[in-house]
Structure 1
Amino acid sequence: MKKIAILASGEGTNAERIIRYFEEKEEVSVEIVIASRTTAGVIKRAERLGVPCRVVTSAGFASGEALEVLRGYEVDFIVLAGFLLRIPEDILRVWPCRIVNIHPSLLPKFGGKGMYGMHVHEAVLAAGEKESGITIQYVNERYDEGDYIFQARCEVLPDDTPERLAARVHQLEYRYYPEVIEKLVRQHV
């Protein structure tokens, strides 16, 4: 059994999709969700789905608490799903090429610190882009600069609002992220 940890900071819709996807798989299991905020919606989603959830703040990541939680659950692979903190080097060293993130744009455009959620979709529209999408990438020590694994595209429509564009991008996330994670876990672990 390969064990996954999901790190999230927000509502947890992608985390829920990933947990549900792997409920039906015998060789891969979501063992723990780590939330970076006590108010994150992902906490209730994890509880409802029967997955243990721990809150580890930015101070806890800096002090090594997150590393100890991950080791305690003996995770093989780490998945970021709307996680807003930078991953510390101690975690990057223990899980090289086994930490992935999804970003709501076609990187390298609209990435980096502060570029998340609606900020990305607003920037895409303000720039007059004709397409947007998702990028699944390995995590390194810099925001959104890890090697790309997969990209999927969607059209930016002339009458789009950030919310409408976000809804189409979310559909790409829900469709592709669990499948890509499964392939990576099977090949890297």
Structure 2
Amino acid sequence: MLNIGVMVSGGGTNLQAILDQIESGKLPGCRVVTVISSRPGVYALERAKKHHIPCCVISRKDFETQEAYDEAVLNHLKHHDVQLVVLAGFLSLLGERVITAYRNAVINVHPSLIPAFCGKGFYGLIPHKKALEYGVRVTGATVHFVDCEYDSGPIILQKAVEVMADDTPESLQRRVMEQAEWILLPEAIRLFAQGRLKVEGRRVTILNETPERKEVNG
């Protein structure tokens, strides 16, 4: 069984996508064992409570240093025996201690085709606003392993989404979530759970599924 810790900062739509896939049997051998929010009062915490998942708030501003914050996050993850950390709309930066402890076991979903419209400050509606301002014909989402910089780790999966002439940042955001984020994030978790992600430098290779694995996972 793969124990997943999900870190959130907002409504938790990507958390819900993961939970839906687990409940439908499309993520066999996976369970969310804890949800950590960077701030109180967000709806993602309500989603966790509805599914009887232990949740808490660990806010960066409550700690004097990055190291102290990292220690609190790491202690919580270890307490729940988390094996994979999933950043699902999580806005704080994890420090070197957490990244080192979970090397190639922290993944993030970002609402653009990295390296476009990404990095510090590109969150929420901002990547979609910038995509529309730039006039791109396609945008999308990326799932990548996390390192100590924003949106800079090795890419696991990407999916393109067409930009419509009448799009607003809000309509584009919704379509990117529905057509890319909610599909890619559970798929990346499935590949990780099956041991099919091989990281060499910046390149992630998706290994072929063996007949034995297909049989075990139905």
Question: Under a length normalisation based on structure 2, what TM-score does the superposition of the two structures give?
Answer: 0.83
Return the offset for 1:20. 2.4
| Alpha-carbon distance between aligned partners in 2 of 1:135 and 1:44, rounded to the nearest angstrom | 26
Match of 2:29 in 1: 27
Return the offset for 1:17. 1.4
Amino acid at match of 2:102: W
State the secondary structure of the residue aligned to 1:124: helix
Q: 1:162 pairs with 159, 163, 169, which one? A: 169
| Alpha-carbon distance between aligned partners in 2 of 1:67 and 1:47, rounded to the nearest angstrom | 22
1:9 equivalenced with 2:9 (yes/no): yes
Return the offset for 1:37. 0.2
Match of 1:138 in 2: 145
Deviating 4+ runs (over 3 angstroms): 23-26, 59-62
Q: 1:182 pairs with 190, 205, 213, which one? A: 190
In our comparison, the structure showing a higher alpha carbon Rg is 2
Return the offset for 1:182. 1.3
Q: Residues 63-113 of structure 1: CA distance to partner in whole angstroms, max 9, x if unpaired?
A: 111110000001111000000000111111111000000000001000011
Q: Residues 18-47 of structure 1: CA distance to partner in whole angstroms, max 9, x if unpaired?
A: 122223345111100001101221111100
State the secondary structure of the residue aligned to 1:187: coil
**Cα RMSD after superposing both structures:** 1.5
1:149 equivalenced with 2:151 (yes/no): no
State the secondary structure of the residue aligned to 1:22: helix
Return the offset for 1:141. 0.3
- Per chain length, whose mean CA-contact separation is higher, i.e. which structure has more relative contact order (CA < 8 Å, sep 6+)? 1
| Alpha-carbon distance between aligned partners in 1 of 2:73 and 2:20, rounded to the nearest angstrom | 24
The count of aligned residue pairs is: 189
State the secondary structure of the residue aligned to 2:194: helix
Partners of 2:143 and 2:184 within 8 A in 1: no
Amino acid at match of 1:28: C
Runs (5+) with no aligned partner, structure 2: 198-218
Partners of 1:98 and 1:188 within 8 A in 2: no
1:52 equivalenced with 2:60 (yes/no): no
Amino acid at match of 2:42: A
State the secondary structure of the residue aligned to 1:107: coil
| Alpha-carbon distance between aligned partners in 1 of 2:183 and 2:100, rounded to the nearest angstrom | 30
Runs (5+) with no aligned partner, structure 1: none
| Alpha-carbon distance between aligned partners in 2 of 1:80 and 1:143, rounded to the nearest angstrom | 12
Segment of structure 1 superposing worse, 143-152 or 61-70: 61-70
Segment of structure 1 superposing worse, 11-20 or 66-75: 11-20
Q: 1:75 pairs with 82, 104, 111, which one? A: 82
| Alpha-carbon distance between aligned partners in 2 of 1:17 and 1:119, rounded to the nearest angstrom | 22
